[in-house]
Chains A and B, each alone.
Chain A
């Protein structure tokens, strides 16, 4: 008898048992909540389920990247919102990283004024709520821009006013597609060339004409390709008619304000991460690289930043996830992101609160996990390899 139950004294068996019990408990709790909610909704006469996604949305969206129109269904509205969220997030990620690096390095500058300005900026940004930035940029942007009739003209083809920046739109994108393919090929060639040049240098010590080939492949080819595409396409050029310019694509002020707010805000935090990362590199490394005859710029590029990146990557992941989540502040200023369109307009029109909130959460979860997975991969790649 005692022998038959001896396995309960086995630590591994017990670990598995406790974990299974926890999992079953959690699932049971979740099932209970879902059942409870759906029963209450049935009792209250509230419709549930995801059928509403196929109803016509009827909502007009001022800034669409997908081919959504007002007569499409609510699912299409959802994707339009997701696309807008992704757009502002991705651009904000790139710009805030660049600005953050600049400010972070400026904070460590040996010039007192540069250092003081960067420090003041970081302290200012970190102590002010993001919503303030969003509203400040929004109302600041609109107030600063002229009415449509007094638009600022950019060479007579693009127009800036308080309804946004109207830019010409190519009628058919075919030539641009070829141009982008050409640019991609030349980037690939450049990468292959660099690999070849490095191998040859390691093997023979001979230098390759890296600069001139780089300029040709990364600058001249793209410029020529884009210039050709621009000339080969018929353009839909905005024209002032009635209230505003017609035709072209409008970059709305809500987008500009949200992007500016996200970038200026996040850059403050990234600057601190950059500073912390750089300062974490032992000073001896810098002295050593000076002793080897490297110039300060080379030291920063070849010695300091590669080591600092290892420290910076995990906290940067958090900041990137924050940018994604903070993009939902767009709802405060009518930027048509997924929160504004789906949790605002669609929720109110259908009343399907639980389904809509669950789908919106899933969007942030999926994008967030993807960003985090990418950053973890990057972190593993740059981690110090000990041999």
Chain B
């Protein structure tokens, strides 16, 4: 009887271990490991979010997410190949498998989720759409734009948002659609339009591209909510899990007080079990997804937690000088919230 119980227990343990290993192999993850780098789709050039400097190095909040993902998956934040995408190219490039993940200042919407074969894996930036106008036009809110002409990128959520918003309020506004954000803002700068519309974060970055940035002001009250975050294709659930939990991990790290500076010390000495699981000191959470157990340790060590990344790229330490606002942790009055590492 004893041997039977033992045998049964061994059998059970054996099948469990086997099933853990068999659990949905990830073709995307295998491909990334085989080629040795992550393929990440980013914006053509949006200061603060994804922008290549004069040395060709990509920086920004969306780029930081790619780096954290590469650090978690490959152990090295530099092993990313960035593919700059326009508004028009972004979905086909992801759908066709040219990139593993899209981290590109793109609004999460129902119809994109339902019809494009795309999944949104969380929110790394809560954004509201607003307008940039000339200071001398003396406009304080979007309601005063009656009769104005507005430049916008064609096919963006902003294009439809603006059209709907003005129509609902019975305001007559001419909307001129450009193929690229940069074309739209150039046309605005040359006097073609009275206003240019995009998300607050994007406007803060693009304002720097104007001839005289100080002549322009960004309206404070947004007309929409545009949550943005990393996007994956349908299928490959294991890969989606990784994409989602790397984002959660960077936010959890900020909540738990883990930074790129104290991460070694926290991993060695922290008594907090959630910190220990996050950093791979216990629990084997990385292995559950087919990664090394120190996946988040590497991501935080090399890229920092969400707050560090925010301050460096779009926050007060950056030229954009955006307040944390709704992108603050929920414990500090913002919207950022992450499920626990349990």
A residues sitting closer than 8 Å to B (CB atoms) are 41, 43-47, 58-60, 62, 70-71, 139, 142-143, 147, 162-163, 241-244, 246, 250, 252-254, 331-334, 336, 340-341, 344-351, 353
Q: What's the Cα separation between A59 and B154 when bound, in Å?
A: 9
Q: What's the Cα separation between A51 and B167 when bound, in Å?
A: 25
Other CB < 8 Å A-B pairs besides A44-B235, A333-B178, A351-B115, 20 of them? Answer: A41-B117, A47-B115, A59-B159, A60-B173, A60-B175, A62-B176, A139-B190, A162-B190, A162-B191, A244-B194, A246-B147, A250-B174, A253-B192, A254-B176, A331-B179, A334-B154, A334-B179, A341-B177, A345-B155, A348-B155
What are the residues of chain A within 8 A of B191 when measuring CB–CB? 142-143, 147, 162
Selected A-B contacts with CB under 8 Å, 10 pairs: A41-B117, A44-B233, A46-B95, A60-B162, A163-B174, A344-B155, A346-B155, A347-B88, A348-B88, A351-B91
Q: Which residue of A lies closest to B87 (CB)?
A: A348
Q: Which residue of B lies closest to A57 (CB)?
A: B160
Contact A345 B115 (CB under 8 A): no
Contact A244 B154 (CB under 8 A): no
Q: What's the Cα separation between A59 and B179 when bound, in Å?
A: 14
**B135 contacts chain A at the CB level, 8 A cutoff:** no
Q: Which residue of B lies closest to A163 (CB)?
A: B149
What are the residues of chain A within 8 A of B147 when measuring CB–CB? 241-244, 246
**B163 contacts chain A at the CB level, 8 A cutoff:** yes
Q: Which residue of A lies closest to B195 (CB)?
A: A243
What 0/1 pattern do residues 87 to 113 of B give for CB contact below 8 A with A?
A: 110011001000000000000000110
What are the residues of chain A within 8 A of B154 when measuring CB–CB? 334, 340-341, 344-345, 348
What are the residues of chain B within 8 A of A243 when measuring CB–CB? 137, 145-149, 194
Q: What's the Cα separation between A300 and B111 when bound, in Å?
A: 63
With most chain A CB atoms within 10 A of its CB, the pick from B154, B191, B234 is: B154
Given known contacts A345-B159, A348-B88, is B148 in contact with A340 (CB within 8 Å)? no
Contact A59 B177 (CB under 8 A): yes
Q: How far is the CB of B309 from chain A (nearest CB, A)?
A: 28
Q: What's the Cα separation between A41 and B87 when bound, in Å?
A: 21
What are the residues of chain B within 8 A of A250 when measuring CB–CB? 174
What are the residues of chain B within 8 A of A350 when measuring CB–CB? 111, 115
Contact B155 A349 (CB under 8 A): yes
Q: Tell me the B133-172 residues at the A interface (CB within 8 Å).
A: 137, 145-149, 151, 154-156, 159-160, 162-164, 166-167, 172
What are the residues of chain A within 8 A of B145 when measuring CB–CB? 243
**Number of contacts between A and B (CB, 8 Å)?**
124
**B317 contacts chain A at the CB level, 8 A cutoff:** no
- Residue of A46, A142, A242, A349 touching B192 (CB-CB under 8 A): A142
Q: What's the Cα separation between A242 and B133 when bound, in Å?
A: 14
Q: Which 9 A-B pairs have the closest CB atoms?
A: A348-B155, A45-B117, A45-B234, A242-B147, A60-B163, A344-B154, A46-B117, A60-B175, A47-B115
Contact B234 A58 (CB under 8 A): no
Q: Tell me the B216-243 residues at the A interface (CB within 8 Å).
A: 233-235
Q: Which residue of A lies closest to B166 (CB)?
A: A60
Contact A162 B192 (CB under 8 A): yes
Q: Which residue of B lies closest to A48 (CB)?
A: B115
Q: Which residue of A lies closest to B172 (CB)?
A: A246
Q: What's the Cα separation between A282 and B26 when bound, in Å?
A: 75
What are the residues of chain A within 8 A of B87 when measuring CB–CB? 348
**B287 contacts chain A at the CB level, 8 A cutoff:** no
Q: What's the Cα separation between A45 and B91 when bound, in Å?
A: 13
What are the residues of chain B within 8 A of A71 when measuring CB–CB? 167
What are the residues of chain A within 8 A of B183 when measuring CB–CB? 332-334
What are the residues of chain B within 8 A of A341 when measuring CB–CB? 154, 177
Q: What's the Cα separation between A341 and B88 when bound, in Å?
A: 12
Q: What's the Cα separation between A246 and B173 when bound, in Å?
A: 11
**B52 contacts chain A at the CB level, 8 A cutoff:** no
What are the residues of chain B within 8 A of A60 when measuring CB–CB? 159, 162-163, 166-167, 173-175
Q: How far is the CB of B238 from chain A (nearest CB, A)?
A: 17
Q: What's the Cα separation between A346 and B234 when bound, in Å?
A: 22
**B187 contacts chain A at the CB level, 8 A cutoff:** yes
Q: How far is the CB of B99 from chain A (nearest CB, A)?
A: 14
What are the residues of chain A within 8 A of B179 when measuring CB–CB? 331-332, 334, 340, 344
